[in-house]
Amino acid sequence: MSSLPPVTVIHGDALLQSRQFFHQLFTQTPAQTETVRFEGKDLDLTALVQACQSTSLIALNRLIIIENLFHPSAKAKLATTSAYCRELIQGTTAYPLVIYEPRLLTPAQLKLVQGASVKSFKTPPVVFQFLANLAPQKQAQFIPLYQRSLKKQPAELLLAMIARQIRLLIQLADPDLHLPPWQMAKLSAQRRRFTDEQLTAFHDQLVLLDRRAKQGQITGSLGQELAMLLLKL
């Protein structure tokens, strides 16, 4: 039998760590465990109940996974599904259920599955401070923040987050880009510190570094290579 609790909720915006923990759960399941996956917006409650209660025909054990249950697209499914999850928490399931959310859930959302085993993965605030301070010739401000961020997050994740930040700055010129007003204001202020050429060149350098890292073509650590790139900004 699995050593997992009846219902486990994994949530947070630190996606690398949350995914690593998510995959570690599989090591706690017996060999030959059947995995049944559901997507929140397409979830059928009857199918979920059957998966949680019926006997597997191909394995002695089963692990049920729901992803994006709290996404806005799954809003119509949330009330009935969370009510059933609360029943499972009381021990009425034959198999463990894992709810995975690639975003931070609010206390109100977590209350819908009160009693579940909850694991949160939140990006440290210093990482967002670092990203917000990225600008040409501002290394004195953002390099110390980068060094602190590197102690808390892997270089691979920081590289991905920097690339995403730069893409957002480039996309600000797109009238179809829809972001909250507060985020638009912060990004617009940061965007004014760059020229178009600087943004494009920096983004291309980030893409190249990512490709070289994945192909094993960097001589030092990725953290060091990324630091050198930032120093040239």
Residue 46, C-beta contacts closer than 8 angstroms, at least 6 positions apart: none
Supply the pLDDT for residue 94: 74
Spatial contact of 63 and 95, defined as CB atoms under 8 Å apart: yes
Can you tell me whether residue 116 is helix, strand or coil? coil
Averaged pLDDT score across all residues of the chain: 90
Q: Give, in words, the CATH class of 125-231.
A: mainly alpha
Range list for CATH 3.40.50.300 in the chain: 7-120
Tell me how far apart the alpha carbons of residues 226 and 210 are, in angstroms, rounded to a whole number.
10
Confidence tier at 103 by pLDDT (50, 70, 90): very high
Three-state DSSP at 61 gives strand
**Angstrom distances, CA of residue 24 to CA of 21, 27, 124, 190:** 5, 5, 22, 38
Structure tokens at 198: 């600087």
Give me the pLDDT at residue 58, please.
Answer: 63
* C-beta separation of 76 from 115 below 8 A: no
Instruction: Decide: 86 and 26 in contact? Cβ < 8 Å.
Output: no
145-164 mean pLDDT: 94
Range(s) of the chain covered by CATH 1.20.272.10? 125-231
Core vs surface per residue 186-212: b (16+ CB within 10 A) or e = ebeebbeebeeeebeebbeebeebbee
Q: Which residues contact 232 (CB under 8 A, 6 or more apart)?
A: none
Q: How far apart are CA 188 and CA 173, in angstroms?
A: 10
Q: What percent of the chain has pLDDT over 90?
A: 57
Per-residue b/e over 136-151, b at no fewer than 16 CB within 10 Å? Answer: eeebeebbebbeebbe
- pLDDT tens, position by position, 204-214: 999 999 999 99
Query: How far is Cα 38 from Cα 172, in angstroms, rounded to an integer?
Result: 35
Fill in the amino acid letter for 110: L
How is residue 167 annotated by DSSP?
Answer: H
From the list 105, 121, 110, 117, the residue with the least C-alpha distance to 18 is: 121
**Dihedral sign (CA 134, 145, 229, 131):** negative
CATH for 7-120 is: 3.40.50.300
- pLDDT tens for each residue of 56-93: 666 578 889 999 999 888 888 888 888 888 888 877 66
pLDDT at 85: 86
Q: What is the DSSP letter of 104?
A: P
